[in-house]
Amino acid sequence: MSLERTFVMVKPDGVARGLVGEIICRLERKGLKLLNMRMLTIDEDLAGRHYAEHTDKPFFQELVAFITSGPVVAMEWSGDHAVAVARTLMGVTNPVEAAPGTIRGDFGLVITENIVHGSDSVESAERELGIYFR
């Protein structure tokens, strides 16, 4: 057993479409435990810290513009292999390629508006949880 903590965020499109409850329900039904949650509107400074690894990429400004466009729901989850479990439930980044039954596969259409964000490693989870909850 590998008990982990992970960060999951419902992005502005997911909040606007009323999918917060659905996403929480899927994570809980899988067996993860919700430890912390907050709704906020991300400003440019916070967006820059969240997407720090993408600062030099051509799509950075598009990421920042989208993530600051409306409220998000930031959450801390725990469970056995929580990072991998949450990522599997979300589906691949591009919703067009995401399998049916995943959050992105069921609800997403556009790669830039893909409903949720989830940490991709234990290290990323610690960094992101530190940004939003510590």
Catalytic (active-site) positions: 117
The identity of residue 62, as a single letter, is E
With contact defined as beta carbons under 8 Å apart, do 116 and 14 qualify?
yes
The identity of residue 23, as a single letter, is I
Beta-carbon count within 10 A of 84 CB: 16
Burial of 134 (0-12, 13-18, 19+ CB in 10 A): exposed
Which two structure tokens, joined as six digits, stand for 8? 């999951």
In this structure, is the dihedral angle defined by the CA atoms of residues 32, 35, 40 and 45, taken in order, positive or negative?
A: negative
